[in-house]
Structure 1
Amino acid sequence: MYLTILHAAQPVDGGVARVVVDLVRGQRAAGHRVLLACPPGGLLAAEAAAAGAELLDWPAGRAPGPATAGEVRRLRRIVRTAEPDVLHLHSAKAGLAGRLAVRGSVPTVFQPHAWSFAAVEGAVAWATLRWERYAARWAHALVCVSEQERADGAAAGIAAAWRVVPNGVDLEHHVPAGAADRRAARAGLGLAGAGLDPEAPLAVCLGRLCRQKGQDVLLDAWPRVAEAVPGAGLALVGGGPDEAVLAERVRALPGPRRVLMAGGVGDPRPWLAAADLVVLPSRWEGMALAPLEAMAAARPVLLTDVPGARECLPPGGAVPPVPPGDVAALAERLVEELADPDACARRGGLARAHVADRHDVRRTVEQVEAVYRGVLPARPSGRPDSRVPQGF
């Protein structure tokens, strides 16, 4: 039985966008009708449309505020018109608006992609947690991307119909990059012209430039690395709200900085191919997608010990994670890894095999569809009637 699936997403960039696009592509290949409600701009709309989604304009900001009531009303109208079999809400803002819009009257799947209350403090964190506890009743399934994300939600008092579906990557799109690919990528990216030695060890940090991803911690650690590993370079790949602040911190680094701010890119594969090591010093995650993409390219990853980190790493031969926010531990581990590029290459081979075995996106798409089937009302035949009641 083919389904009509409506995804609603905000944000429209970063790992969330890539997860949604991969789901759209896999669901369209399976014959389903797939619609996407999202704000214009960013990478999501264009890439999802190219993957076969029908786009529905849903202007919505990233944070709640005075405009939220109007965003809820617009999303309610979209759902009524689309008449989906399943509504799949991605990240905190779509989860807020979507659950308020339909309040369980349509089979609803909520996927937080990391808990919103982990991103804030004080009264805002308290209010956010209270909301998640209350709104869980309006999700027929709550999909976490790691067991730790699920455990954190349960420990926080959220009572939900939990499902764990680890993130996956397209193994035909992200292919192993060997030594020749590394040399070609470094030449193509113009590392020498950007002040980096194309023959020296290179760490790449791929992610949105924001507090969550911890690039400020990485920059605090970098002077110790630069001193201990002669010629080592660092590339920060991504855009985001902290770009100007981080650029100023780069300019303030002592000595030969050898740090490049590469900006946002549509295709991270050349940077993954160029790297000896991919580092993601996040403060919180569910299960980040960038490490999986890096490992699919046969690159080892250095992660902080946040939800999803240990679960996504190969059980043997991985770089041990470091505590989030620990500058000294991050610097020490970076020095150990960048000082031995041959060991990095060996770890990368193990990482690729692990991702191929455990994180193929085709498995992710199949598991998500199984979640959908589990929330659909049982009917003897015909298409499930999941329309929003006219009186709602």
Structure 2
Amino acid sequence: MTRTILHIAQSSEAGVARVVTDLAAGQCTQGDRVVVACPTAGTLARTAARRGAQVVRWDAVRSPGPALPREVAGVRRIVDGVRPDVVHLHSAKAGLAGRLAIRGRLPTVYQPHAWSFDGAPAALRTAAVRWERAGARWAHQVVCVSEGERAHGAAAGIRCRYAVVRNGVDLDWCGPPEASAREAARHRLDVRVPGPLAVCVARLCRQKGQDVLLDAWAEVEARIPQARLVLVGAGPDRSLLAARASPAVGFAGAVVDPRDWYLAADLVVLASRWEAGMALAPLEAMACSRPVVVTDVPGAREFLPPRHLPFAVVPLGHPGAFAAAVARLLADPATGRALGEEAQAHIRRHHDVRRVVERMYSVYDDARRVWSGPVGAADQ
């Protein structure tokens, strides 16, 4: 049976864009009509269209504010025009505007991609938690990408029908890297480094912790003077980070396809303060046979092979511990290569994006079973 699936996302860059694009592409392959509603700026509109989805414009900004009534009205118009069988809302803004617009009248799936209250300023955190608790009644399934993310939501009092669907990677995109892949990627990127290279692929913002990473990097440089770090991504903290970075730190800006940066790296790092339960960049790096070092956010331990935990997971907010873990692997390339090979095999076994697409169909079917048709006047 062909169905119409409507994805709505304000976040149109980086990890969310790749998750939505991969889902849309897989669903198009199954013969479904897939519509992606998103801002036209950013990569999502282009990549989703290229992979077969119909793209419609939804003008929305990142934070809640005076534009919210217009954004909610925009969702209503899109839903009325598309007439979807299921609506899949991605991240906080689409989750807010979409649930206010639809209010349970259609089978609705909400995927936080990190809980909104984690990124809210202290003055708004309580309000964000209250909204997530109230808005849960208008989602027939809430998709978390790890048990850690689900537990975090439940601990905040969000009572809903949870489904855990761990993030996946397009293995055809990653491909099995050849022995010469590192040097070939560095040549394509015109990267010339005298020693080991660490790479961070993430939006430049407080969530991703590049400031903590730079604090750690000063100690890494002291231990391994020839080591270099490249921050790949754009974001609001670019100028602040650039002002405090040493000459050993480069800024590559935003890229549509980060694969060459993973392949060029000896180590991929992510110092996040919080995550969407399972960050996509480490999964992609591991699929490219690269070892990773990440902070111990909820869900981080769920995507790593057990042998990696002593090497790869460090406490939150401890630049010294992060520096020690990074320096340990950069100084021991043989261990890094062995961990990378094991990581690639692990991703191929457990995180193929095709499994995510299959699992999401089960989520949609559950949402449709839970949905009981138009809601009553009390929810209008």
2: CA distance, partners of 1:86 / 1:5:
5
Aligned-residue Cα RMSD (Å) equals 1.8
Is 2:352 aligned against 1:360?
yes
Helix, strand or coil: the match of 1:52?
A: coil
Following the alignment from structure 2 to structure 1, what is the Cα–Cα distance between the partners of residues 4 and 18?
20
Q: Deviations over 1:28-68 (max 9, x none)?
A: 00111001111111000000011111111110001000000
1:341 lines up with 2:336 in the alignment:
no
Question: What corresponds to 2:132 in structure 1?
Answer: 132
Aligned match for 2:316, one of 300, 316, 324: 324
Q: Among residues 252, 255, 262, which one is paired with 1:265 in the alignment? A: 255
Correspondence 1:314 to 2:305: yes
Determine whether 1:290 maps to 2:285. no
> 2:40, 2:264 → 1: CA distance?
32
Partner of 1:155: 155
Matches within 5 A, 1:178-197: 178-192=178-192, 196-197=193-194
1:214 pairs with 209, 214, 223, which one? 209
2:220 is equivalent to residue 225 of structure 1: yes
Spell out, residue by residue over 1:310-351, the C-alpha distance to the aligned partner (whole angstroms, 9 max, x if none).
Answer: 111112245331112111101111111110111101100000
How far apart are the structure 1 equivalents of 2:75 and 2:83?
Answer: 12
What amino acid sits opposite 2:368 in the alignment?
Answer: L
Q: Is the 1:106–1:388 Cα contact (8 Å) retained in structure 2?
A: no
Q: Which secondary structure state, in structure 2, belongs to the residue aligned with residue 265 of structure 1?
A: coil
Runs of 4+ in structure 1 off by over 6 angstroms are: 384-389
- Deviation for aligned residue 1:120: 2.2
For residues 234 and 121 of structure 2, the distance between their equivalents in structure 1, rounded to whole angstroms, comes to: 24
> Which residue of structure 1 aligns with residue 242 of structure 2?
247
Shift of 1:123: 2.5
Q: Deviations over 1:73-118 (max 9, x none)?
A: 1111111111100000000000000000010000000000011101
Secondary structure at 1:376's aligned position in 2?
Answer: helix
Q: Secondary structure at the match of 1:36?
A: strand
Q: Which has the higher helix share?
A: 2
Instruction: Compute the displacement of 1:121 (Å).
Output: 3.6
Q: Distance in 2 between matches of 1:377 and 1:188?
A: 50
SS in 1 for 2:110: strand
Does the Cα contact within 8 Å between 1:204 and 1:237 map onto a contact in 2?
Answer: yes
Which residue of 266, 285, 294 corresponds with 1:303?
A: 294
Deviation at 1:240, TM superposition (A): 1.0
- Cα 1:118/1:140, change in 2 over 3 Å: same
Checking the alignment, whether the CA contact within 8 Å between 1:79 and 1:388 is kept in structure 2 is: no
1:105 corresponds in structure 2 to: 105
Contact 2:220–2:327 (CA<8 Å) still a contact in 1? yes
SS in structure 2 opposite 1:330? Answer: helix
> SS at 2:190's partner residue?
coil
SS in 2 for 1:316: helix
Partners of 2:55 and 2:162 in 1: how far apart? Answer: 29
- Structure 1: 5+ residue stretches without partners: 379-383
Q: Which amino acid aligns with 1:369?
A: Y
Q: How far apart, CA to CA, are the structure 1 residues paired with 2:369 and 2:325?
A: 51
Alpha-carbon shift at residue 176 of structure 1 (Å): 3.2
Which stretches in structure 2 are left out of the alignment for 5+ residues? none
In structure 2, C-alpha distance between the alignment counterparts of 1:125 and 1:288, rounded to whole Å: 22
Secondary structure, in 3 states, of the residue corresponding to 1:234? Answer: strand
3-state SS in 2 of match to 1:262: strand
| Residues 161-216 of structure 1, C-alpha deviations (whole Å, 9 max, x = no match) | 00000000011111233441111112221222xxx32xx11100111111111111
The residue correspondences of 1:6-155 to structure 2 (distance < 5 A) are 6-155=6-155
Aligned to 1:142, the other structure's residue is in SS state: strand
Distance (Å, rounded) in 2 between the aligned partners of 1:218 and 1:343: 22
- SS at 2:173 equivalent: coil
Q: 3-state DSSP class of the match of 1:353? A: helix
Q: Contact conserved, 2:292 with 2:312, CA < 8 A, in 1? A: no
CA distance in 1, matches of 2:150, 2:375: 29
Give the conservation status (yes or no) of the 8 Å contact 1:83–1:388: no
Aligned residue type for 2:217: W
1:279 is aligned to 2:269: yes
Task: Give the whole-Å Cα distance in 2 for the aligned partners of 1:15 and 1:235.
Answer: 18
How far has the Cα of 1:239 moved from its partner? Answer: 0.8
Mapped contact 1:80–1:388 kept (Cα < 8 A): no
Q: Is the CA contact 2:4–2:84 (under 8 Å) kept in the aligned structure 1? A: yes
TM-score relative to the length of structure 1? 0.93
Aligned partners of 1:210, 1:47: CA distance in 2, in Å?
23
On the 8 A contact 2:104/2:375 being kept in 1, the answer is no
Inter-partner Cα distance in structure 2 for 1:152 and 1:55: 33
Larger mean CA deviation between 318-327 and 142-151 belongs to 318-327
